Amino acid sequence: MTDTAQSPGTEKKVKRGAFGRLMKYIFLMKGKFFASLFLMFIGTLTFLFIPTLLGDIINNLATSGKSVAGTAYLMVGLSLVTLICLYTAFRWMTDVTQNALFQLRQELFEHMQTLSLRFFDKQPIGELMSRLTNDMDTINNLFQSPFSLTLQSSFMLVITIIALFLINPMLAGVAIVVIPMLAVFVAVLSHVSSPSFTMLQVKLGDLNGVIEETLEGQRTVIANRHQKISSTLEAGISHDASHAGSKAHILSLFISPLCLMSAFISIAIVAVFGVKLLNDGLITIGALSTAISYCLLFILPLTFIFFNYNFWISALVGVGRMFEVLDSSPDVKDRPGATALPRIKGDIVFKEVNFSYLPGRRVMRDANFVATPGMKVGLCGPTGAGKSTIVNILTRYYDIDSGEILVDGINIADVTQDSLRRQIGVVQQEPLLFTDTVMNNLKYARDGATDAECIEAAKKADCDTFIQRLPQGYHTVLMDGGASLSQGQRQLLTIARAMLAQPRMLILDEATSNVDTRTEKVIQGALRKLQEGVTSFSIAHRLSTIRDCDKILVVDDGAIVEQGNHNELMAKRGLYYDLYMAQYKGRITEVMTDIIAANDRLSNTGGKNAHNFKKIYRD
């Protein structure tokens, strides 16, 4: 899903559709919405009746000299009615619009949780964040006041024009001649500015992505001295956003002076024709005064309507972009009639499995293997060979192209995703902790877990000791993904979390790759406890972590080229043997060279033996 330019006709249809869908959220509080409209109408009507009373006062003063106190009191009363009605109307409309905004935001976020990983693979996080923030802000900006003002201004415009026609049709005709002139001018400007609103939102999404990526990788930016390069990149995108924003808001620059000019033209025309009608005795001085007042009043709503036009365009662009996400459907769906997977033993079978992330680009070909309950399965191979792909399709993050994946003899395509994943524990290479208490981070694995169960899991994973040393123990809030903890401590917490889930299958994705040797031993001990009685899959680059696995799958270029235990694979002298020897030959050479060199120093041979050993071993 990418943002592309649209033809004017298509863009208008999109906006109309977006407006209709946006109004559905407004109608969630239909009673309050229409009550607000009614009060808005009454308040506007009483407000616009005041110029008529003012005209009566002028007529009385100019002719009979009667007392105008009663009319003045009525004007004060109508003013109070106007204040109460409009305040209540705007207050209720705020409730309606904010509820609509809340429901739209929740629906968008919740819908994102249902989308498959393939959707997020195609979308930069900054772009998705822009739809939840920038696009939502455009709607919020519309709902804050322009939405209500536009509605009220529409009432005012209609009532004012009707009042002008009731006073004198001829005066009304010449007064409203400026409306089509304004409409044509606004239509021309909006044709220029409207596409720029779409481009502005796209550029803001790009800008969000660059800023988020730069801030997350600030350590790398500083280490590689890329601060200026990052600033230049941000400045370029920011300039593009600024340019799009300038074009987008060109309309608002003309609205105020244009409306003022239209008001003066309208008043001048009404004054000229009005004086002629007055001289011909076809209109009273009070009626002419009222007509001039209404000329001013109908320009006022026009100003509000056209001035808020930018808010409407921007909001409808934002709504359209949000509905693009809402209209996206997950690639991985439960089949009709899918049943819940019962508690499994952990018997896994891959039969002729083929898979492609992108159509026509197969990354897994004819994969076949069997894992019996409780078996430890290691996955190794060159980078990009397809190790992670095996666990991605086993967990149904993606659906396969053909073949079968059976769990306890049941095709995983025939069961619900939730019931499958509920029985799979995952310990990732980069431990992910949320900004919450330690206790809640542990409970993330299983709904309804008790504090006692969390503590027991922490003890089993050897992390209870360091948790107790935290300022508030298990109730300490972890900030910034647990930045105050070491890498090993964060990993131990994720292992405890996986233990609490009580999985029947386990995925270990390089769980010890980023820790020191001492910490690795602690983590390996915790992992062994986690693996007890569970069918586990361990992705590894360091082959020492899977040497003791019951079965090792060697993956190369999307195919399982070898499988067996360590000794069997070493005896075959195939790819596994090459990977193993390449990984350990250098270490053996280094260790033996150091040992012989130490002996050489003691025997005063000057390191000659070490040099010879190193040469002979490498040869």
Give residue 135's pLDDT: 82
CB contact set of 291 (below 8 Å; sequence gap of 6+): 164, 167, 168, 171, 172, 175, 270, 274, 283
Question: Are 114 and 176 part of one and the same domain?
Answer: yes
Give residue 597's pLDDT: 53
> Is residue 138 a part of any domain in this protein?
yes
Question: Are 194 and 229 part of one and the same domain?
Answer: yes
Rounded CA separation 463/484 (Å):
15
Rounded CA separation 154/157 (Å):
5
> Is residue 215 a part of any domain in this protein?
yes
Last residue of a domain, one of 485, 500, 515: 500
CATH of the domain at 419: 3.40.50.300
* pLDDT of residue 1 exceeding 50: no
> Is residue 58 a part of any domain in this protein?
no
Q: State percent of the chain over pLDDT 70.
A: 82
Question: Are 472 and 416 part of one and the same domain?
Answer: no
Question: Are 419 and 559 part of one and the same domain?
Answer: yes
* pLDDT of residue 322 exceeding 70: yes
**Out of 50-64, 154-168, 233-247, least confident range:** 50-64
Domain containing 469 equals 434-500
Question: Are 112 and 252 part of one and the same domain?
Answer: yes
* pLDDT of residue 58 exceeding 90: no
At 350-378, the pLDDT tens digits run 999 999 988 878 889 999 999 999 999 99
Q: What is the mean pLDDT of residues 296-321?
A: 78
Give residue 475's pLDDT: 92
Last residue of a domain, one of 263, 294, 326: 326
For residues 340 and 590, the model is more confident at: 340
Question: Are 496 and 514 part of one and the same domain?
Answer: no
Q: Give the DSSP H or E segment for 482.
A: none
> Is residue 322 a part of any domain in this protein?
yes
> Is residue 141 a part of any domain in this protein?
yes
* pLDDT of residue 221 exceeding 70: no
Q: Give the DSSP H or E segment for 605.
A: none
Give residue 91's pLDDT: 92
Question: Are 170 and 245 part of one and the same domain?
Answer: yes
Rounded CA separation 411/334 (Å):
12
Q: What is the mean pLDDT of residues 156-181?
A: 79
Question: Are 469 and 515 part of one and the same domain?
Answer: no
Angle at 572 between CA 571 and CA 576, to 5 degrees: 100
Give residue 4's pLDDT: 41
> Is residue 339 a part of any domain in this protein?
yes
> Is residue 76 a part of any domain in this protein?
no
Highest mean pLDDT (candidates 349-363, 399-413, 540-554, 580-594): 399-413
The band of 144, judged by pLDDT with boundaries at 50, 70 and 90, is confident
Give residue 514's pLDDT: 62
What is the count of structural domains for the chain? 4
Question: Are 368 and 476 part of one and the same domain?
Answer: no
Rounded CA separation 16/592 (Å):
76
Question: Are 217 and 271 part of one and the same domain?
Answer: yes
**Out of 213-222, 258-267, 398-407, least confident range:** 213-222
Question: Are 192 and 279 part of one and the same domain?
Answer: yes
Q: What is the tally of helices (H) and strands (E) in the chain?
A: 24, 12
Question: Are 508 and 489 part of one and the same domain?
Answer: no
* pLDDT of residue 535 exceeding 90: yes
Give residue 587's pLDDT: 55
At 426-466, the pLDDT tens digits run 888 778 888 889 999 998 888 888 999 999 988 988 889 89
Are the CB atoms for 483 and 218 separated by under 8 Å?
no
Is the pTM value of this prediction over 0.75? no
The band of 569, judged by pLDDT with boundaries at 50, 70 and 90, is very high
**3-state SS record for 92-119:** HHHHHHHHHHHHHHHHHHHHHHHCCHHH
Are the CB atoms for 527 and 492 separated by under 8 Å?
no
Last residue of a domain, one of 446, 474, 500: 500
DSSP 619: -
For residues 395 and 259, the model is more confident at: 395
> Is residue 80 a part of any domain in this protein?
no
| Nearest C-alpha neighbor of 287 from the set 167, 409, 128 | 167
* pLDDT of residue 526 exceeding 90: no
Cβ neighbours, 10 Å, residue 330 = 15
